[in-house]
Each structure stands twice: as structure tokens, then as C-alpha cells.
């Protein structure tokens, strides 16, 4: 079984490679290693999967020194010809597309990066699947697509036509384009709407990472909307277990799909959308309290107004994913935060100042 995973220098992609290691798959990872955040962390993730920094060159295939059957290629998904070359050489059975320009707030400052990566790059992945016959494409969408929707919990049957950030709009666009390709070319595609993923090796722009960094530096943490926020925090191990299950659940068209009362999450085409989250929203101040208990020290809070593009609450209805795949997230935030803090202190050689 050959699988292409995009974004393997990234947070989720790194963990998925580790999850699939030793399971008899031939894994090809690609990433452009951009500088949206600290590239040293990205290279460290690659190093932990056996990919040496000094061997990485653009478009060169580097074999892992520790994971059998894993190879990495540094390339940019917006380069259509190069992406198609990778597909032509790899002849992949499965594709898991996780690479994207991330970040809601950054999309306000630099919209072009989101067009290039999240739209053009995604179209190139779909073309690769079309031209070289991948059996299943699983791709990363986002809980951000729910936008102005206030019906809780968020269901894949809800309308998501009112995103409040460009990032969310690109993810919604991915779902629409994926459906078109699925319908026209009979490509099985599954989109996963991720809900606030956190854990060891996480992204520095995410709340938990920023909180820990500031607290250890003796700085206040920025708490948006004065803490009146709720997030469906989902631990990384639960996420990659869910992805693995979905990879093996190749969608078929639903013969009972009703065009007069359409279900947005399915189709007559082999197309499916799932929420993948914990299914239990946590108040932001409660989350910070868990962090304080873990660190054994208080967090000085700088209460701030809500940021443009943010939503107040997210809450995933994961019932369909659970029914179809057996997905069962089981990591409470107390455990997840503890594991992140332990990783952070070890990775950055930090200590907690009492």
C-alpha cells in the first residue's frame, strides 16, 4: 500500500507518519517547509522521523534513517508540474492531504498565501489523484467553515455558507472543489473538519503553545474576548487515530441521497465530510486553569477583545464518524495539556519557575 501524506514537516502530518510507521505502508511525505512559523521546529519533526536536515534539497527524495518505507520530498504544492511528477512516480493508493497555509488571523494579513497554498495547491492534489487513479483522497478541512453558524453542536448537515475568515473560506472551497472532482471523475474523497488540535510538537501560533511560552518567560498571556470563548480541544493522538480509520473507509455514493432535501456531507458521488473532534467544548478560562494546575503556577492574563475572524464557540458532533469508523476520542484536556507541557519543557530545555 502506497500513501502520499502532504505536510509531514507539520504538526498533524508528523504525527500521522509516526502513527503509520511499521504498518507495512510505503509512505511518501512532502512539505515546502515554509517560514510561517519556526522552521527549526519543522526540521526537528523531520529529524524525529529519520529525515536529516543536511540531506534535504528541493525536489530530492530523502529516505528515512529510522522509519522503514518512509521518504520525504521538499516541494511546493503550488508547482503543478512537480506535484504531478510526484504522483506519476509514486502511483499512490491513498492520499492524505494535510498541507495548508494555516492560521485564521494570518489570513487577514496575507491573503495571497492562502490562495496559493489552499486553493491552487489543493487543485494540484486533486489533479494528481485524477490523472494517476488514487483509490481514496482524505483531506483536511476545518471547524472554521462553520463561521457564523450558532447551532450547537456543529453538524456536517448544517449550512456553512457564511465563513468569517479567508482561511475558512478556502477550506469551504476545498470541500466544494472536492465534490466536483468526485462527481465528475468518480474519485473517492473524504474531508475532515478538524477541531482545535493540540499536543506535543504543536504549532507555535496555537493558544496552548503561546500560553506556555509566555508563562515560562514571565509574560502575560493574551486572552481574547475576555475569556468568553469555548473550544472543542482535541488531542493529537485521537486525531491521527481517527485519520487512520478514515483512510480505510473509502466512501461510495449514497443511492438514497435526496436532491430535494440534500445532505451537505454526502452525495450520489463517492464524497463524504466528517467532523473530527473531542465532542466536548471547554471554556477558555477553564482550559487556562488546567494549564495553571499543570504548571503549578498562575497565568497572568491580559484580557482582550475578540479578534476579527474568530468565532466564540466550537463544538463537534462526531456521531457519524463514530458510527462509520468506530472513532472514540478518549484523551481529557488534563492529560493532553500535561503531555504537551512535558514535551515543551524537554524540547526547549526549559524549567518551571516557581
Q: Convert the pLDDT of each residue in 89-146 to its tens digit.
A: 999 999 999 998 887 767 777 888 888 889 999 999 999 999 999 999 999 999 999 9
pLDDT at 14: 98
How open is the CA angle 163-282-287, to the nearest 5 degrees? 115
E strand map for the chain: 2-6, 26-31, 61-63, 70-74, 94-97, 136-142, 189-194, 197-198, 221-224, 230-231, 234-235, 271-276, 282-283, 301-304
| Furthest-apart CA atoms within the chain: distance in Å | 62
* Contact of 58 with 86, CB cutoff 8 Å: no
Cβ of 188: how many Cβ atoms within 10 Å?
Answer: 21
* Contact of 194 with 277, CB cutoff 8 Å: yes
pLDDT at 75: 97
DSSP string for residues in 252-306: ---TT--TTS--TT--SSSEEEEEES-S--EEHHHHHHHHHHHHTS---EEEEPP
For residues 77 and 32, what is the distance between their CA atoms, to the nearest angstrom?
A: 8
Average pLDDT of the chain to the nearest whole number: 95
* Contact of 327 with 242, CB cutoff 8 Å: yes
Using 50, 70 and 90 to split pLDDT, how confident is the model at 336? very high
Using 50, 70 and 90 to split pLDDT, how confident is the model at 16? very high
Using 50, 70 and 90 to split pLDDT, how confident is the model at 310? confident
For residue 324, give Cα distances in angstroms to 63, 78, 111, 294. Answer: 35, 33, 36, 35
Kindly name the residue from 167, 181, 198, 327 that is annotated as catalytic: 167
Answer yes or no: is pLDDT of 175 > 80: yes
CB-facing half-sphere around the CA of 304: CA atoms within 13 A = 12
Cβ of 157: how many Cβ atoms within 10 Å?
Answer: 13
Looking at the DSSP bridge assignments, the partners of residue 235 are 198
Q: Domains of the chain by range and CATH?
A: 2-201+233-278+316-330 (3.40.50.720)
Does 181 qualify as catalytic in the annotation? Answer: no
Which of residues 109 and 24 earns the better pLDDT score?
A: 24
Q: What share of the chain is helix, strand, coil (3-state, %, to 5)?
A: 40, 20, 40
Q: Find the helix or strand (DSSP H, E) in which 78 lies.
A: none
Cβ of 59: how many Cβ atoms within 10 Å?
Answer: 13
Say which DSSP state 154 is in: B
pLDDT at 354: 45
Burial of 255 (0-12, 13-18, 19+ CB in 10 A): exposed
Percent of the chain with pLDDT over 70: 99
Range 151-156 average pLDDT: 96
Q: Find the helix or strand (DSSP H, E) in which 18 lies.
A: helix 11-20
For residues 275 and 191, what is the distance between their CA atoms, to the nearest angstrom?
A: 9
| Three-class DSSP category at 64 | coil
Segment 224-261, tens digit of pLDDT: 999 999 999 999 999 999 999 999 999 999 999 999 99
Range 81-96 average pLDDT: 98
Amino acid at each position: 500500500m502506497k500513501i502520499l501524506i502532504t505536510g509531514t514537516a507539520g504538526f498533524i502530518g508528523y504525527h500521522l507518519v509516526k502513527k503509520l510507521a511499521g504498518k507495512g505502508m510505503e509512505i511518501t511525505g512532502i512539505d515546502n517547509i515554509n517560514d510561517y512559523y519556526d522552521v527549526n521546529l519543522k526540521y526537528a519533526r523531520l529529524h524525529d522521523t529519520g529525515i536529516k536536515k543536511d540531506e534535504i534539497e528541493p525536489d530530492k527524495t530523502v529516505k528515512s534513517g529510522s522509519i522503514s518505507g518512509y521518504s520525504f520530498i521538499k516541494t511546493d504544492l503550488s508547482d503543478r508540474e512537480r506535484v504531478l511528477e510526484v504522483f506519476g512516480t509514486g502511483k499512490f493508493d491513498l492520499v492524505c492531504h494535510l498541507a495548508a497555509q494555516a492560521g485564521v488571523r494570518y489570513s487577514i494579513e496575507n491573503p495571497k498565501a492562502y490562495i496559493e497554498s489552499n486553493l491552487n495547491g489543493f487543485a494540484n492534489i486533486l489533479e494528481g489523484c485524477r490523472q494517476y487513479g488514487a483509490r481514496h483522497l482524505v483531506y483536511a478541512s476545518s471547524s472554521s467553515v462553520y463561521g457564523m453558524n450558532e447551532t450547537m453542536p456543529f453538524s456536517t448537515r448544517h449550512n456553512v455558507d457564511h465563513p468569517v475568515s479567508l482561511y475558512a473560506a478556502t477550506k469551504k472551497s476545498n470541500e466544494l472543489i472536492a465534490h466536483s472532482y468526485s462527481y465528475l471523475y468518480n474519485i473517492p474523497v473524504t474531508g475532515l473538519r478538524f477541531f482545535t488540535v493540540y499536543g506535543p510538537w504543536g504549532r507555535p501560533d496555537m493558544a496552548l503553545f503561546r500560553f506556555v511560552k509566555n508563562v515560562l518567560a514571565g509574560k502575560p498571556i493574551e486572552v481574547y474576548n475576555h475569556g468568553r470563548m469555548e473550544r472543542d480541544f482535541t488531542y493529537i493522538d485521537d486525531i491521527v487515530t481517527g485519520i487512520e480509520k478514515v483512510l480505510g473507509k473509502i466512501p461510495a455514493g449514497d443511492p438514497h441521497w435526496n436532491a430535494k432535501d440534500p445532505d451537505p456531507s454526502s452525495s450520489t458521488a463517492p464524497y463524504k465530510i466528517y467532523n473530527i473532534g473531542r465532542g466536548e467544548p471547554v471554556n477558555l478560562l477553564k482550559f487556562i486553569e488546567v494549564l495553571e494546575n499543570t504548571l503549578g503556577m498562575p497565568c497572568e492574563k491580559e484580557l482582550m477583545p475578540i479578534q476579527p475572524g474568530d468565532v466564540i464557540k466550537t463544538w463537534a458532533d462526531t456521531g457519524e464518524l463514530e458510527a462509520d469508523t468506530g472513532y472514540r476520542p478518549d484523551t481529557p484536556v488534563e492529560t493532553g495539556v500535561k503531555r504537551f507541557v512535558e514535551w515543551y519543557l524537554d524540547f526547549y530545555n526549559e524549567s518551571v519557575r516557581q
